[in-house]
Structure 1
Amino acid sequence: MTEVKSEWNSNLAFVLAMIGSAVGLGNIWRFPNVLYSNGGGSFMIPYIVSIFLLGISFVLVEYAVGYKFKKSLARILFTVSKKLEPVAWFILLVVFLITTYYVCVVGWDLIYVVLSFTKGWGANPDLYFANNVLHATDSVSGIFTIVPNVLISIFVIWFIAWLINKRDLNEGIGKVSKILLPLLCIMVLAIVAFSLTLPGASIGYSQIFKPDWSALGNSEVWLAAFGQIVFSLSLGMAIAMTYASYLPEGSKLVDNAVIVAFSNSGFEVFNSIGIFSILGFMALTSGIPFNELVTEGTGLAFVVFPQVFNTMGSVSYIIGPLFFLCILFAGITSVIALLEGVCYSISEKFLIERKKTATAVCIVGFCISTIFATGLGSTILGVFDSYLNNFALLLGILLECLIFGWIYKFDDLIETLNENSTIKVGKLWKTVIKFILPICIFCLWAQGIYYTVTDINPISTTIITILTVTLIVVPFILSKLPAINKDYYNV
């Protein structure tokens, strides 16, 4: 079998796939809470600074590296230095493990897509989510109790991901991105337009335009902005590097990076107007203070919003399904992007065709995801999320900064970016990547370690120990396994 290199059939396919990979659960339910909790309107200042300083700057590194080498992450780092291949497999394993629980959360949403047509969560959405959906328990014995509905929904999401990723690049990821992303934007536009007509909407959306200027002097606010950009743009997850490696010659890398970054951020801010307006309506009609309604993650999506839909009347039978379909579409486009980098590295090193690689990766992923379909699943998921995002992923991003900023010939990347782009980069970008960005990421990483350590208990200690051993042993094994692709070793 010979190595076959995939390529995007248009720049539009690449841009839509990149935006689809960035627009995910973090945009819909994480950003509104981060915005509200960190100074409201004044948060937009550190947020915009973070887009340029961290977001676009790091995306440009990934674009330049992927486009220049036209190889998978594992092969790129092997090319830079043979000793660095384990770092690539470490990053890819972190991404894969994140995908295994991300699929579970998208699976929960799939359940709520079905429930939303009849408001099947009943009068007490909080109790329903904990008892009827998750069957959550803090007892270790809960790991032996399978939750059928969650298991089925997880299987469906993995099956959808497999159907997409096993296909040719343009027929799979490219075509799905061209369909789901426009649909997602249309649905969000409809939800925001409707939300602005609700009584009390101004109570909510005014929060975005009500600045707390004192927050700008708080380092925690700036770290929150950096953190939001990291997770929102999926930095360091090998997505941008992988997708950029499929670009044809003559692509405008810097122009594309700016388009993707601002499209993603524009979606976040616009979506927040709708989220806040609906929460403002809830605050007015229920008498619950606005600050008690603003939360993030599953609490906002699966508890607060069902409560809102319960008070909204018959129109909620339209808005409810649209809201949960938005989360579903955003989740699917992110899942297929997360899997692509992993599949590409395995396929390239061991010369396994795309369909077989996608099948093997999805089967292993589903087996791991079944852990989250147990009574203890939500607890385990919380530990996975905290450890992998706050510690492992940020460590991977920091290592990438150091590798491409200090070990690799950085000026080659500047030349690659400026070759066809309308917007040029130079010494300022070089300074950001070599000095400013590593300091910012290190501060985020130190903060992440602190949060992880302070939330420790016997169950989380066991899970973190298992994850740590896995993240050391598996990358070492994958880097030591001989490549079937003999070109793999050609530097």
Structure 2
Amino acid sequence: MSSETTGRSTWKSRTGFILAAIGSAVGLGNIWRFSYLAYENGGGAFLIPYIFALLTAGIPLLILEFGIGHERIGSAPLAFRKIGRRWEWLGWWPLLFTMFGIVLYYSVVIAWCVDFIFYSFNLSWGDDPDKFFFESFLNLSSSPAEIGIIQTPILISLFIVWLVSWGIIVRGVSRGVELANRVFMPLLLLLTLVLVFWSVNLEGAMVGISAYLKPDFTKLGDPNVWISAYGQIFFTLSLGFGIMIAYASYMPYNSNMTGSAVITALANCGFSLLSGFGVFAILGFMSVTQSKPLEEVVTQSIGLAFVAYPKAISLIGDAGPLFGVLFFLSLTVAGVSSAISIVEAFVSGAKDKFGINRKKLATLLCVLGFAGSIIFTTNGGLFWLDIVDHFINNYGLVMAGLLECIVVGWFFRLDIIRKHLNKVSKMQLGVWWNWVIKLCLPLFLTVILLNQLIRELSVAYGGYSWASLIGIGWSWIGITFLVSFIFAVQPWKTDNHLAKGRGEEL
């Protein structure tokens, strides 16, 4: 380990780093969100705005986050502190609303997947998966205000999820996070390939795949389709989380950072495309075997995984239970790989500033995470999950990404990062990249933010009361924003913030 990285963990190899970055990016949304978005927004034609968004926003911003972490040699709070004392809060804010927001409800969804692995053995959902999921499993209440009681099966699986996460994170970067992703990512790819191959050979599979890919070029004239493409690219690459900054900071000097960003982005998007074939092959199978139009069996998000898929698993026959186990196991693996990256990003930031022992810090965060997740295991938990997820993803992450581009692009010498990346990478960035970060990305993210805000003000999200939206959603954003300043003004217990960036040492 070189002197410049002394005191910081490092990846054992570039492959391990890329697998961990892909593990963070590839999550539950790749499996159920992308395919539905493509279907709703022009099928094969949606690939045009999707790829355009990948090239003009996703890859440039991922390169920026890799560059910030690698050149500033630090987690998000440390990196922004080195950019300027007044910007440290911007490093803390994403870590706070992801660690004490996203990962809290995300771990509960993973717990659902764990439960459904076992339910798959005997098809416990019976003839009505919809009723089973919402009434028997979740025992859903009537509103967010009616919290109700904790659902014990979910709580038990939630404990297992956090215990696994703790066991990985407490072992450190190379022996924990990297090693886990060396197992998880090949396993996830294998499971996905098996499921896709199995699905496309089912009766009626081509009906679904045709609907998934059939291009409707008239959709390209709708601005909302382009906004959806940019939104999906932004969310699916874990941008604005602070994760990629932390992960890049663990890389040694001579690392091909730009090439790694491109590989990570392409692998993530390729996985989304691949998963879509399996998802719509199953929906086509359901359409044909039940003699229903495809639009009647297509559903989005949670309903796709926990209602539509169980219906399909029941229709497959004797092999249904095995298919179910493989499907929910793949969701679990995808979820855990993303969840540990969120906790690791916070561990990195807290360790950089306060010098807390990793084992103690990881234990404390996992205990707090488990406790904070419990609200989402109650009868009203799904409503809370929906509201918190909506506000953090549509406002928190977009605002964090927007501010990141503005701060680094306009209040810092962006050329320091670009020249550093060019020095260590085979793929060279031109001055065009500076202007993508300074102008194009802020414009794209502002449009996404304003579009969502205008829509929100005209019609309350999800039909919820304004009291629920303000009391849960906006409060979650506001509280984490204020706490980020509290963290930022705390004195540094280490000397990490005094070190220069690698680009300034050239």
Q: 1:173 aligns with which of 171, 177, 181?
A: 177
Residue 296 (structure 1) aligns with: 300
Post-superposition shift, 1:295? 2.1
* 2:114 is the counterpart of 1:81: no
> Given the two structures, how large is their TM-score scaled by the length of structure 2?
0.94
**Equivalent in the alignment of 1:94:** 97
User: Please, what is the CA RMSD of the aligned residues?
Assistant: 1.5
Would the aligned equivalents of 1:129 and 1:303 in 2 still touch at CA under 8 Å? yes
Q: 2:329 aligns with which of 316, 325, 328?
A: 325
Q: Say which of 31, 34, 39 aligns to 2:34.
A: 31
**Structure 1 segment 452-467 matched on structure 2, within 5 A:** 452-453=456-457, 454-455=460-461, 456-457=464-465, 458-467=467-476
Query: Cα deviations across residues 271-322 of structure 1 (Å, max 9, x unaligned)?
Result: 1111111110100011222122222211000000001111110111211111
Alignment of 1:114-129 (within 5 A): 114-129=118-133
Aligned: 1:403 with 2:412 = no
1:484 — aligned with what?
A: 493
> Which residue matches 2:484?
475
2-structure distance, mates of 1:490, 1:249: 15
2: distance between equivalents of 1:249 and 1:490? 15
* TM alignment of 1:193-232, pairs within 5 A: 193-232=197-236
Once residues 427 and 208 of structure 1 are traced to their aligned partners in structure 2, the CA distance between those partners, rounded to angstroms, is 38
Contact 2:104 2:373 in 1 (8 A): yes
Deviates more, 1:206-215 or 1:372-381: 206-215
> Could you tell me which residue of structure 1 aligns to residue 116 of structure 2?
112
CA distance in 1, matches of 2:418, 2:131: 54
How many Å apart are 1:401 and its aligned residue? 0.8
Work out whether residues 387 and 452 of structure 1, in 8 Å CA contact, stay in contact via their aligned partners in 2.
no
Residue 168 of structure 1: how far off its partner (Å): 2.0
Matched to 1:482, the amino acid is P
Q: Give secondary structure in 1 for the equivalent of 2:201.
A: coil
Q: Is the 2:78–2:496 contact (alpha carbons within 8 Å) kept by the matching residues of 1?
A: no
- Checking the alignment, whether the CA contact within 8 Å between 1:3 and 1:348 is kept in structure 2 is no
Trace 1:175-190 onto structure 2 (pairs within 5 A): 175-190=179-194
**Are residues 1:374 and 2:378 paired?**
yes
Deviation for aligned residue 1:409: 0.6
Instruction: Indicate how the Cα distance of structure 1 residues 359 and 68 shifts in structure 2: closer, same or farther if over 3 A, else same.
Output: same
Deviation of residue 449 (structure 1)? Answer: 2.4
Give the Å deviation of 1:452: 4.2
8 Å CA contact 2:282–2:312 kept in 1: the answer is yes
Instruction: Quote the offset at 1:139 in angstroms.
Output: 4.5
1:10-44 superposed Cα distances (whole Å, 9 cap, x missing partner): 11100111111111011001001000000000000
Specify which of 264, 271, 274 is matched with residue 275 of structure 2.
Answer: 271
- Verify: 1:386 aligned to 2:395, yes or no: no
* Aligned residue type for 2:227: L
List per-residue Cα deviations over 1:459-488 (Å, max 9, x = no partner): 222213531441233112211222211443
- Name the counterpart of 1:63: 66
Distance 2:115 2:16 in 1: 30
Tell me, which stretches of 5 or more residues in structure 1 are unaligned?
none
Q: Is 1:432 aligned with 2:436?
A: yes
**Structure 2 letter corresponding to 1:388:** I
1:413 is the counterpart of 2:414: no
Contact map agreement 2:33 2:301 (CA 8 A) in 1: yes
Q: Per the alignment, do residues 3 and 480 of structure 1 end up closer, same or farther by CA in structure 2, a change over 3 Å counting?
A: farther
SS of equivalent residue, structure 2 residue 492: coil
Contact in 2 for aligned 1:390/1:452 (Cα 8 Å) = no
Q: How far apart are residue 490 of structure 1 and its match?
A: 5.3
Counterpart Cα distance in 2 of 1:372 and 1:59:
31
Preserved CA contact (<8 Å) 1:106 1:328? yes
Q: Distance in 2 between matches of 1:9 and 1:465?
A: 41
* Deviant stretches of 4+, over 6 Å: none
> Given that residues 30 and 272 in structure 2 are in contact (C-alpha distance below 8 angstroms), is that contact kept between their aligned partners in structure 1?
yes
Q: Alignment identity in percent?
A: 36
Preserved contact between residue 43 and residue 216 of structure 2 (Cα < 8 Å): yes
Q: Measure, in 2, the Cα distance between the counterparts of 1:423 and 1:144.
A: 55
Which of residues 12, 17, 25 in structure 2 aligns to 1:14?
Answer: 17
Instruction: Using the TM superposition, give the Cα deviation of residue 187 of structure 1 relative to its aligned residue in structure 2, in angstroms.
Output: 0.9
Alignment check: 8 A CA contact 1:145 1:374 kept: yes
Q: CA deviation at 1:137?
A: 0.3
- AA in 2 matched with 1:348: D
- 1:37-81, CA deviations, whole angstroms, 9 ceiling, x for partnerless residues? 000000001111111111100000001111111111111111212
Corresponding residue SS for 2:123: coil
C-alpha separation in 1, matches of 2:254 and 2:477: 42
Alignment of 1:330-349 (within 5 A): 330-349=334-353
User: In structure 1, what is the Cα distance between the partners aligned to 2:441 and 2:87?
Assistant: 21
Deviation per residue, 1:319-369 (Å, 9 max, x gap): 111111110000000001111111111111111011111111111111111
Structure 1, residues 395-437: CA drift from partner, whole Å, max 9, x if none?
1110001011111111111111111322211122112111111
AA in 2 matched with 1:423: M
Secondary structure at the aligned position of 1:234 is classed as coil
Q: Which runs of 5+ in 2 are unaligned?
A: 501-506
Alpha-carbon shift at residue 206 of structure 1 (Å) = 1.3
**Could you tell me whether the CA contact under 8 Å between 2:91 and 2:242 is conserved in 1?**
no
**Alpha-carbon distance in structure 1 between the residues aligned to 2:10 and 2:354:** 20
